[in-house]
Amino acid sequence: MNALMNDIEVIKTKHSKINEVDFDHLSFGKTFSDHMLECDYKDGKWQAPKVVPYAPITLDPSAKIFHYGQSIFEGMKAYKDGDNNILLFRPLDNFKRLNISAKRLAIPELPEAYFMEGLKALLKVDSDWIPKNEGSSLYIRPFIFATGKGFHASPADEYKFVIATAPSGSYFAGELKVLIEEKYSRSANGGVGFAKAGGNYAGQFYPTQLAIEKGYQQVIWTDDNTHEYIEEAGAMNIFIRINDTLITGPTSDRILDGITRKSIIELTEKEGIPVEVRKITVSEVVEAAKNGSLKEMFGAGTAAVISPISGFGYKNEDFDLPKLENTYADALKKRITDIQTNKVEDPFGWRYKVI
């Protein structure tokens, strides 16, 4: 297999778009690189992947992605350091999580070499698309969806694996004001909340839009049963600092095992910041806000890395967080991004050098 993967077919575009891009003013995920990786599953196995020009995908109207939602994805970033090395951050964790999602949605699992060697081949072809500006990166979107045809409610017999990339700036600008959700749920026990399934995000849009109409930017999700426990912040894991202790909920059927989340936990443990992985109630957070012990809240995920929360709403009452000079959010974000961009040593072995 390795011999095959080291000889991935590359079909280069005849018309690069790179000179049309303003790399000093990149929005997030709206500009796309010249090429993508493509690989089909048919006849009971994954076929050889290849790098092709970025282009629309044509599907039959009966393709099962449209009817039964078999679709999963990952989010990653590539960076360049001062020596033009191409770097990834914990890519094998993304690969493993993609297959966890695949298994839950009855999608054939992908061989590791197809993911890793295919990604490396794509990044080598589009290396000039990786921004070097502070705060920018090449966002990487691996995804798998059902292409098999038919209206019968059953898993498809054909799938497509794609990796597309987008040079991107910051995901969020500034701090977030969030609304703690009292009615809607992101996921439920026994469901697919732990998977990166497209439907998870589609189900978030309506409650989030309701929150936006009330003047908030995002929703803090609570448990589906009682709505008493804090679970996630928008499409991110959430961390809450009470006094000097950082708290985040345990992963479960409902909560995504975020790679940035895991990195923050490992960093805080190494650097002596008290961290607790436990359930945290809405009432505990509200009480901490009232008595002044609530110091910080922030979301954590690949796209934004860390997004500070400036305040939250709950039961028609708003709570502002204090303005601190030295925050855990700022320190942890700098530590992670410095590791990602090779500005500091990486004692964890997270950084992965492509070339």
pLDDT in tens, 179-190: 999 999 999 999
Place of tokens 């439920």: 188
Q: Do residues 257 and 153 share a domain?
A: no
Whether residue 323 lies inside any domain: the answer is: yes
| Chain segment 142-169, per-residue pLDDT in tens | 999 999 999 999 999 999 999 999 999 8
> With a cut of 70, which residues of the chain have pLDDT below it?
1-6, 173
Position 19 in a domain: yes
Residues 69, 146 within the same domain = yes
Boundaries of domain holding 108: 2-168
Q: Does 157 lie in the same domain as 284?
A: no
Residue 340 within any structural domain of the chain = no
- Percent over 70 (pLDDT), the chain: 98
**Model pLDDT for residues 195-244, shown as the tens digit of each residue:** 999 999 999 999 999 999 999 999 999 999 999 999 999 999 999 999 99
**Whole-structure pTM value:** 0.95
> What is the C-alpha to C-alpha distance for residues 126 and 123, in angstroms, rounded to an integer?
5
**pLDDT for position 170:** 82
Q: Which two tokens stand for residue 124?
A: 């080598």
* Residue 355 falls inside a structural domain: no
Phi, psi of 338 (to 5 degrees): -65, -40
Residue 307, beta-bridge partner list: 299
Q: Are 47 and 39 in contact (CB under 8 A)?
A: yes
Last residue of a domain, one of 168, 184, 205: 168
C-alpha distances (whole Å) from 43 to each of 1, 47, 95, 143, 179 are: 18, 9, 23, 20, 48
CATH of the domain at 207: 3.20.10.10
Instruction: Tell me the C-alpha distance between 194 and 196, whole Å.
Output: 7
Q: Domain for residue 47, yes or no?
A: yes
- Cβ-contact 186, 206 below 8 angstroms: no
Specify the pLDDT at position 3: 45
Q: Say if residue 122 is in the same domain as residue 182.
A: no
Clarify whether residues 45 and 108 are in a common domain.
yes
**For residues 117 and 355, what is the distance between their CA atoms, to the nearest angstrom?**
12
Q: Which residue has the tokens 């957070």?
A: 285
Does 345 fall in a domain? Answer: no
* Backbone torsions φ then ψ of 191, nearest 5 degrees: -90, -150
| CB within 8 Å of 323: residues ≥ 6 apart | none
Q: How big is the CA angle at 226 (ends 221 and 230), to the nearest 5 degrees? A: 30
In this structure, is residue 237 part of a structural domain?
Answer: yes
- The reply to whether 347 falls in a domain is no
CA pair distance 285, 185, nearest whole angstrom: 19
Provide the domain count of the chain.
2
Report the CATH number that the domain containing residue 39 is assigned in CATH: 3.30.470.10
